[in-house]
Amino acid sequence: FFLALVVLVQPWGLTAADTKHDLVANPARFLAGALHAYTDTFTLGQLQNQAYGYLFPQGLFFLLADPLPDWIA
């Protein structure tokens, strides 16, 4: 109960800086990109280093929590 209270009293609408911001911002797109070795988003492609590790369970969590406000997820 105490940990849930700590989470719910945090400032609304703010998210912490993260190295995988694209996972939080658009989990479906990130997970779709994790299925491919390279992406054309950046010049000459970019290897999706360790992106496959986010397919399960973290990726699934963020995909299911996507309709919720980011500060809850």
d(CA 43, CA 47): 11
Q: What does the domain layout of the chain look like in residue ranges?
A: 22-73
Residues 55, 63 contacting (CB under 8 angstroms): no
- Its pTM stands at 0.60
d(CA 43, CA 24): 23
Could you tell me which residues are beta bridge partners of residue 39?
Answer: 46
Please state the φ and ψ torsions of residue 18, each to the nearest 5 degrees. -145, 150
Q: Kindly give the confidence (pLDDT) of every residue in the chain, 73 residues in length, as a single tens digit, with 9 standing for 90 and above.
A: 898 888 788 777 776 666 777 887 888 988 888 777 776 665 555 556 667 677 888 888 889 988 887 677 6
